[in-house]
């Protein structure tokens, strides 16, 4: 009797996706498919009852991807991996339709993602990676993209059920859930650059080559058919202090952009399409960075710092591979401080030159695109050194390391001209619609509100106390009367 009751309960549970999900207007073939689907689902249900959870533990594992026609492959290494695979029935996202939710939780230690040279590579000359100093001689020739000492990986996927017949005024059904979530809990490091991007492009083109044809439209499932996945989502959470480095070469010399994220809470969120609409498909990327401190390896190390940066990128790909692509990039910063010297112009020009492709353009693979860039900043401050004789005080390596540990904003011996603004907005569309054009039109729009210029002098300057006395007796004649301070000036004084 107990067995009969269990079988009846299992059958009733499986019929949730058919009775509630299939219209009664079905034919005999549809009924036969439903019976077969229920029988297969019954077998899966019994397996789930027999093995409710599966635990997997691996010590010192490696996962690699590559080919002998590629100069470099992708290698994932970890010292310890403990994971649990389980499922929740019914689905916790749309329980009345979808059958179940598969959940895979993984805890890792010493996770590393690297680009390594393939020994049996038989192609053209191999491009040497940037000469980054490493603590282990065995890591020479290997570019480490990601490292984290302790963290988690979560995988969640719905098992789709059948489409149901909806009323005309009812809301559309939510999409199926398919997510990867990576959480970093201790000492995360990320490295990238033009060289690493070229290897990523080679790997991507090998495993996911470009199809020079029209993408067919993904048909929507009708009533009684299995629901389909619309997109897959990837999330990276940084719950620990993180270091991000960008390496590039200029005149046989290694250059570096070094970013420190001392506070936790930054994240990377990306949604990739898994179906094609009549007008194409879209990719969305969202990045939030908390209180970054960015430096360079120039003698004058200061470059940028802010309270928060929000980056949103939306890419629209048309169905025809060589139609116009639209890349919409929006960057919003809160209380940024930007340091500028003339050497920064040459520095970033070298970065652009290294990132540019050395391969001559090919008309057969050309696809037009438009970059629609928008930059917005609240309480923006630009700092330009203005010392006598045009000299700049730059600390040596020992002093630089001490400053990084103490998180000092600027060397004590430099004077700065500070240009402040309550808000700055810059719109910068870049159309690349022609193959190898002689001239590319650019329309830049800059909107600045409440502009303020001031002089920043360190306390050890002999003019400091003179200017401090003048500042204490200053008066501002405004339409609302005489004031000793301005609201905008007070906000920047608190920094």
Q: Are residues 24 and 126 in the same domain?
A: no
- 46 and 83 share one domain: no
Res 42 pLDDT > 90: no
Q: Let me know if residue 114 belongs to a domain.
A: yes
Instruction: Give the mean model confidence (pLDDT) for residues 391-401.
Output: 63
- Nearest CA to 17 out of 169, 178, 226 is that of 226
Is residue 475 assigned to a domain?
A: no
Q: Are residues 60 and 42 in the same domain?
A: no
Query: Are residue 61 and residue 193 in the same domain, yes or no?
Result: yes
The pLDDT value given to residue 179: 95
The answer to the question of residue 161 being in a domain is yes
Please tell me whether residues 334 and 383 are part of one structural domain.
Answer: yes
**Closest by CA position to 70, among listed 116, 113, 121, 144:** 121
State if pTM tops 0.85.
no
* Residues 177 and 187 occupy one common structural domain: yes
Q: What is the pLDDT of residue 211?
A: 82
Residue 211 CA, distance from chain mean position: 25
**Does residue 294 sit in the same domain as residue 387?**
yes
Rounded to 5°, angle at Cα 264 from 260 and 266? 80
pLDDT, position 133: 78
- Is residue 214 domain-shared with residue 327, that is, in the same domain? yes
pLDDT tens-digit series, residues 341-379:
999 999 999 999 998 867 778 888 889 999 999 999 999
Shared-domain flag, residues 82 and 129: yes
pLDDT at res. 389:
74
Q: Which pLDDT score is estimated for 282?
A: 96
* Backbone φ and ψ of 4, nearest 5°: -65, -40
- Report the SS3 class of residue 307: coil
Average model confidence (pLDDT) for the chain? 84
Confidence of residue 40 (pLDDT cuts 50, 70, 90): low
Q: Coil, strand, or helix at residue 264?
A: coil
Whether 176 and 244 share a structural domain: yes
For the chain, what is the domain count?
2
Separation CA 81–CA 111 (nearest Å): 9
Residues counted in the chain: 495
pLDDT tens for each residue of 159-211:
898 888 877 777 888 889 999 999 999 999 999 999 999 999 999 999 988 88
In a domain, 474, yes or no: no
Please compute the mean of the pLDDT values over residues 230-248 and round it to a whole number: 96
Q: Within this chain, do residues 24 and 130 fall inside the same structural domain, yes or no?
A: no
- Residue 295 · residue 324 · CB < 8 Å: no
Domain assignment of residue 465, yes or no? no
C-alpha distances (whole Å) from 386 to each of 116, 193, 205, 275, 344 are 46, 32, 49, 56, 16
Could you tell me the residue range of the domain that residue 47 belongs to?
1-51
User: Looking at the structure, do residues 184 and 223 belong to the same domain, yes or no?
Assistant: yes
Helix (H) / strand (E) containing 340: none
Integer Rg of the chain from CA: 29
Q: What percent of the chain has pLDDT over 90?
A: 54
């Amino acid at each position: 009797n107990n067995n009969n009751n269990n079988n009846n309960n299992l059958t009733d549970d499986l019929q949730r996706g058919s009775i509630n999900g299939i219209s009664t207007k079905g034919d005999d073939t549809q009924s036969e498919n439903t019976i077969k689907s229920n029988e297969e689902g019954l077998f899966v249900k019994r397996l789930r009852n027999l093995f409710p959870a599966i635990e997997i533990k691996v010590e010192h594992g490696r996962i690699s991807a590559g080919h002998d026609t590629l100069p470099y492959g992708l290698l994932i290494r970890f010292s310890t991996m403990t994971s649990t695979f389980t499922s929740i029935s019914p689905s916790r996202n749309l329980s009345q339709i979808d059958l179940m939710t598969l959940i895979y939780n993984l805890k890792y230690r010493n996770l590393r993602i690297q680009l390594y040279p393939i020994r049996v590579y038989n192609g053209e000359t191999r491009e040497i990676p940037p000469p980054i100093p490493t603590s282990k001689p065995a890591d020479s020739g290997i570019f480490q993209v990601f490292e984290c000492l302790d963290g988690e990986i979560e995988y969640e996927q719905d098992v789709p059920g059948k489409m149901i017949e909806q009323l005309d005024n009812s809301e559309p059904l939510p999409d199926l859930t398919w997510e990867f979530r990576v959480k970093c809990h201790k000492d995360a490091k990320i490295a990238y650059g033009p060289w690493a991007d070229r290897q990523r492009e080679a790997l991507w083109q090998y495993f996911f080559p470009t199809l020079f044809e029209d993408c067919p439209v993904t048909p929507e499932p009708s009533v009684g058919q299995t629901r389909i996945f619309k997109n897959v989502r990837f999330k990276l959470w940084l719950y620990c202090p993180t270091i991000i480095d960008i390496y590039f070469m200029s005149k046989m010399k290694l250059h570096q952009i070094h970013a420190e994220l001392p506070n936790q809470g930054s994240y990377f969120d990306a949604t990739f399409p898994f179906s094609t609409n009549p007008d194409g498909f879209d990719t969305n990327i969202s990045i939030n960075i908390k209180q970054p401190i960015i430096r360079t390896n120039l003698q004058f190390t200061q470059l940028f710092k802010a309270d928060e940066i929000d980056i949103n990128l939306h890419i629209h790909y048309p169905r025809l591979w060589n139609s116009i692509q639209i890349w919409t990039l929006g960057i919003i910063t809160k209380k940024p401080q930007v340091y500028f010297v003339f050497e920064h112009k040459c520095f970033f020009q070298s970065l652009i030159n290294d990132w540019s492709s050395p391969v001559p353009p090919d008309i057969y693979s050309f696809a037009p695109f438009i970059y629609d860039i928008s930059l917005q900043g609240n309480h923006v401050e630009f700092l330009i050194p203005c010392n006598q004789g045009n000299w700049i005080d730059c600390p040596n390596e020992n002093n630089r390391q001490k400053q990084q540990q103490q998180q000092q904003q600027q060397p004590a011996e430099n004077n700065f001209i500070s240009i402040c603004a309550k808000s700055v907005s810059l719109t910068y569309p870049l159309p690349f619609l022609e193959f190898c054009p002689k001239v590319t039109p650019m329309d830049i729009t800059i909107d600045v509100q409440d502009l303020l210029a001031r002089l920043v002098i360190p306390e050890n300057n002999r003019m400091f106390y003179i200017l401090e006395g003048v500042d204490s007796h200053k008066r501002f004649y405004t339409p609302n009367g005489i004031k000793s301070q301005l609201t905008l000036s007070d906000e920047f004084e608190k920094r």
